[in-house]
């Protein structure tokens, strides 16, 4: 199969980059960014803005992002739009060659920034065809490679893609989490002012467990009225309670929730017994579900973009949301103590839960956006409103 796939994909003139899928399918293009090779799961993101935020979201660890919007890199990069200092996506696939940056906020070019961060880009690809392939066959494992001389050992790249175990069973949270406790000091960004500082007044205290968080989540908690302390993914119950929190936040992050749950679920279960307010986003939402007795499952293609409609079941209001997840809480097998609160209008998968008899809830999507709509910011206000109640 691999030889046939290679014969059907002759290298076009000028190709300096390639994506080799584990089924033997080969996608040629023009490499940019870092030189070298990287392995990961290929996904697609439908957002029209925020490519820098996407590439620095730790939830994309060990993934190669196919951008369906054709013009990526055209507004350059800047230091204010980074969502994390740790590794996010390992590479990206785009339709058009990256043009010179044209934006008053730009501090550099996207391709040069990718090279600095060690991330590989592949341009000149029919991203619609690749996206359709993922929709039909699921998100594949692959190797993305960039060599200026255009020389590639395709059989070796294929073997590496096939040898990579994939995201199922993989705990990535401990690799992208902060390793030390820190008091969060930033607040929201304003044009011409940059990021503000967290007020020093007496505020309810949130301990945020970092499974691979986007920084804008912490800024949003501050905007909603909280004081935030961030602790590592493997923080113990004693560490969390020792900080005397008014509530606990469970962040987004990458990897298989069942694998991460091996060390996080016991802590969350103990926190539920304390009856502290708990709010989870994305992986944190899945961790909360597992702690309450639900189960999670790998999705066929996942949800990634800034235009995902979600229905709030309490009043049938539809929120347009930002999403990035390849696993989901299985809403076909929710335990009696878990109430489903939100569902995806794309495929009916679970997008929100509440734990009955507890002040604990979670959503699968990203109410802090960055990038994306801000329909769901009220969830931060709801959570902060619970603190001290």
CB-count exposure of residue 263 (10 Å: 0-12, 13-18, 19+)? middle
Low pLDDT (below 70) residues in the chain: 1-9, 389
Q: Say what the pTM is.
A: 0.95
238 in active site:
no
Other C-beta atoms closer than 10 Å to the C-beta of 386 total 18
43 in active site:
no
- Listed in sequence order, the DSSP H helices in the chain are 2-7, 51-55, 110-117, 127-137, 154-163, 173-176, 215-223, 237-242, 257-273, 283-291, 378-386
**325 Ramachandran zone, left/alpha/beta (phi>0; psi -120 to 50):** beta
Q: Which of 202, 255, 249, 257 is nearest to 229 (CA)?
A: 249
Please report, to the nearest 10 degrees, the dihedral formed by the alpha carbons of residues 17, 21, 25, 26 taken in order: 0
Q: How far apart are CA 41 and CA 64, in angstroms?
A: 6
DSSP 210: E
Question: Is the distance from CB of 113 to CB of 92 less than 8 angstroms?
Answer: no
Q: Render pLDDT for 264-276 as a digit per residue (tens, 0 to 9).
A: 999 999 999 999 9
Q: How far apart are CA 17 and CA 11, in angstroms?
A: 10
Q: How far apart are CA 331 and CA 347, in angstroms?
A: 12
Question: Is the distance from CB of 174 to CB of 196 less than 8 angstroms?
Answer: no
Topology of the domain comprising 173-386: Rossmann fold (3.40.50)
Domain boundaries defined on the chain: 2-163, 173-386
Q: How far apart are CA 210 and CA 176, in angstroms?
A: 9
Half-sphere exposure at residue 197, Cβ-oriented, CA atoms within 13 angstroms: 3
Helix (H, G, I), strand (E, B) or coil at 386: helix
Catalytic residue selected from 282, 303, 308, 351:
282
Question: Is the distance from CB of 366 to CB of 323 less than 8 angstroms?
Answer: yes
**How confident is the model at residue 36, as a pLDDT?**
98
Catalytic residue selected from 37, 41, 53, 368:
368
**How confident is the model at residue 389, as a pLDDT?**
62
**How confident is the model at residue 197, as a pLDDT?**
86
366 in active site:
yes
CATH tag, 2-163:
3.50.30.20
Strands (DSSP E) contained in 14-134 are 17-21, 26-33, 36-45, 63-67, 91-93, 120-123
């Amino acid at each position: 199969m691999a030889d046939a796939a290679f014969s059907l994909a002759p290298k076009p003139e000028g190709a300096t980059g390639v994506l080799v899928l584990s089924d033997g399918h080969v996608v040629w293009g023009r490499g940019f960014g870092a030189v070298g090779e990287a392995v990961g799961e290929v996904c697609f993101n439908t957002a029209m803005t925020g490519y820098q935020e996407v590439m620095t979201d730790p939830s994309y660890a060990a993934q190669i992002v196919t951008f369906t919007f054709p013009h990526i890199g055209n507004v350059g990069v800047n230091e204010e739009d980074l969502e994390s200092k740790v590794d996010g996506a390992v590479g990206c696939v785009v339709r058009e060659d990256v043009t010179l940056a044209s934006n008053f906020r730009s501090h550099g070019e996207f391709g040069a920034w990718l090279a600095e961060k060690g991330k590989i880009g592949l341009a000149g690809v029919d991203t619609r065809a690749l996206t359709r392939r993922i929709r039909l066959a699921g998100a594949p494992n692959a190797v993305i490679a960039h060599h200026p001389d255009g020389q590639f050992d395709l059989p070796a790249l294929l073997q590496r893609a096939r040898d990579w175990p994939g995201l199922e069973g993989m705990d990535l949270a401990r690799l992208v989490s902060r390793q030390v406790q820190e008091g969060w000091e930033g607040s929201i960004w304003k044009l011409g002012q940059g990021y503000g500082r967290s007020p020093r007044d007496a505020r309810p205290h949130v301990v945020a467990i970092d499974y691979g968080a986007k920084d804008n989540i912490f800024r949003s908690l501050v905007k909603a009225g909280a004081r935030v302390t961030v602790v590592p993914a493997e923080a113990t119950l004693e560490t969390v309670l020792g900080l005397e929190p008014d509530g606990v936040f469970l962040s987004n992050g990458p990897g298989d929730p069942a694998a991460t749950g091996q060390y996080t679920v016991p802590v969350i279960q103990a926190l539920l017994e304390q009856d502290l307010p708990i709010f989870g986003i994305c992986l944190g939402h899945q961790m909360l579900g597992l702690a309450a007795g639900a189960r999670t499952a790998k999705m066929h293609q996942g949800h990634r973009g800034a235009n995902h409609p979600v229905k709030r079941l309490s009043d049938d209001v539809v929120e347009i949301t930002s999403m990035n997840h390849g696993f989901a809480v299985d809403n076909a097998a929710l335990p009696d103590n878990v109430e489903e609160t939100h569902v995806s209008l794309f495929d009916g998968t679970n997008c929100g839960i509440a734990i009955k008899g507890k002040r604990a809830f979670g959503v699968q999507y990203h109410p802090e956006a960055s990038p994306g709509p801000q329909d769901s910011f009220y969830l931060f206000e709801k959570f902060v409103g619970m603190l001290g109640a």
